[in-house]
Every structure is written in structure tokens, then in C-alpha cells.
Amino acid sequence: MTQMSKSVGNLFGIQVFPKRATEFFKRIVKDNIEKREAEGIVRPDLIHLLMEARKGKLKPESGGDNREGFAAVEESQIEPSSKEVELSDEHILAQAMLFFFAAFDTVSTAASFMAYELALNPDIQKKLQEEIDSVKSKHDGKIPYDALLSMKYLDQVVSETLRKWPPNFETDRLCVKDYLIPSTNPDEKGFLVKKGIVALVPMMALQRDPQYYPEPDRFDPERFNDENKSKVVPGTYLPFGMGPRNCIGSRFALLEIKSVFCHLLGKFDITPYDKTEIPMKLSSKHFNMQPEKGFWLRLNLRKEGSS
């Protein structure tokens, strides 16, 4: 499906989004752009960044906040292209829709799997609740942005969830020039990847490979503690892809997931019950990570005295 050309999609009338939703979103974005341009309105958001990019005024940022989380995609080290690309309203609309829908889909999927793992691992859930309670007690029952980013165990749990249950099974990249992958055996030739080939990167297979992650089916947030996260082999942890074409909503998604669980676990315990599928079986009818029988968990109000 991800490799299907636009012409094939048009031939069979296949649409990613319903036409009504697309027209609604298109109208909002177009009206917003016209109003901002006419009245000189500036807001620090995605639409403004895309409008600045269209004018050629957007400069690449150097680095980022390293507290955003282990799973946050690092900025690509590839030099930005000097080639000018004309951004139409359609391009801006496409990027806005991708950011909005992809981020929310990723958040709902990742949050559901994280809730499932916490329900099956009450010791991990309790430790995470203790961290949440501790931070809340220092900030009058609230969790400010800076405090949220400083929560190490929360980041470990989110990172491990995305390792075991990445948002997608695989991603792809188009080879733009011939590249020879050298052989590890001196008696064998390397493998030539030719220009124009689409290479599939099996994210889930890499992140469940025991060569890189011992006992890969075990949910263990300690893989990403301060001591162990530096041992993660580059290129084996790809929940949001990597390189210049990584997921643009990774930081937004991580912030949402962390915020959701700070509120949820402050009030509730998540537990399994008779309809909870153990072990989880993934559906073969979906292109992304979805359980065969859905997510069935129970929320129990925490005892008085909890946050």
C-alpha cells in the first residue's frame, strides 16, 4: 500500500482520507494562510514554519533539547540542499495533514501498547507512578513542561514501548545513487544497492533482534537507563525512522504520550482482566501495529492519598 503510485490509487478510487475530511482541512488551512498573509499575523506554529519555508526564510536548527527523550529523532547531519523548492498551498496542506493525523495515530497506538505493558507489569507501573507522584508533589500537583522532560523513568518506559511495539512494522528509503555494502567476509563480494531501488527497513525485526536486545520479548525499561542507552547500536532503534526524512512529529508524539500517562497514572491503576489477550496477537488485516482482538484493560481508581 505504501508503495502504490498515485495513478493506481486514482484508477481504483482509493483515498487515504475521506474526501469530506480533506476538503474541510484544505479550507481551514487555505483560509488561515490567506488571513495571515493579509493581516501580517505571526504565530509560532507549523503553518508559520511552512510559510517561512516557502519564502526561503526558514533556516535549519542546530541540535535540539536532549531532554525530549531517547526516541526523539536526532537532526540529520546531512547538509541541507541549496536547491529551491516551490511550496504551493497544496504542499503546505499535505504537510499539515501528515503532521496532524500521523502524530495522533502514532500517539493512540503507542499509548495503547504502553497501557497494555504497564497492566502486565505492575512493578514497572508502580515505579512509574512513584516518579509521577514525586514530581507532582514538588509542583503543587502539576507537571510543568521542564519537569515532564526531566522524568527519566517515564522516558525509559516510553522508549521501551516504542522498541517492542514500534508504530509501524517497517519504513522505506529510495536509493539515490549506487552504493556498495562491503562484505564482512574478505572472500566475498559486497552487495550493490542500485540507484532507484526502494529499500525496506524492517524496524520491528531490528528492534526484536536478540543480537541487539537480549530477551527482546521481555518488557524492560532498564534497557534505556543512563548506563545502558549508550550501548544501543546505532541504526537498530528506529521507531520514528532516521535521517533527513524521519517523522516530523516525533517530539510532538512523545510529549503527548508522556502527558497522557502523567494524568492517567496519577489517578488510576491499569490492570488486565478476563478479556485482556495474553500474550498479544497482532492483526494481519492492518498495515500498522494493531492487536487482533483490540485492547481490553481495566482502570481502577487509585486509593485516596495518591495524586
pLDDT at 2: 47
10-residue block means of pLDDT along the chain (307 residues)? 55 69 86 89 84 71 61 59 66 78 81 98 98 96 94 97 92 91 87 92 94 97 95 92 74 91 97 95 81 94 72
Task: Give residue-wise pLDDT tens across range 139-154.
Answer: 999 999 999 999 999 9
Residue 27 lies in a domain: no
Q: Provide the number of structural domains found in the chain.
A: 2
Residue 5 lies in a domain: no
Residue 13 lies in a domain: no
**Is 191 found in the same domain as 163?**
no
Which residue, chain included where needed, has cell 503546505?
A: 92
Task: Say whether 262 counts as a known binding-site residue.
Answer: no
Residue 80 lies in a domain: yes
Calpha distance 153→76 (Å, rounded): 27
Nearest to 71 by CA among 192, 277, 213, 252: 252
Nearest to 234 by CA among 73, 64, 62, 60: 73
Calpha distance 158→107 (Å, rounded): 11
Paired with 195 in beta bridges are none
**Is 213 found in the same domain as 197?**
no
Contacts (Cβ under 8 Å, ≥6 apart) of 20 = none
Residue 215 lies in a domain: yes
User: 249: domain CATH number?
Assistant: 1.10.630.10
**Is 187 found in the same domain as 114?**
no
Residue 227 grid coordinates: 548506563
**Is 106 found in the same domain as 66?**
yes
Task: Give residue-wise pLDDT tens across range 85-94.
Answer: 677 778 888 8
pTM value is: 0.80
Calpha distance 200→174 (Å, rounded): 9
Which residues form the domain of 190? 168-201
**Is 253 found in the same domain as 127?**
yes
**Is 289 found in the same domain as 181?**
no
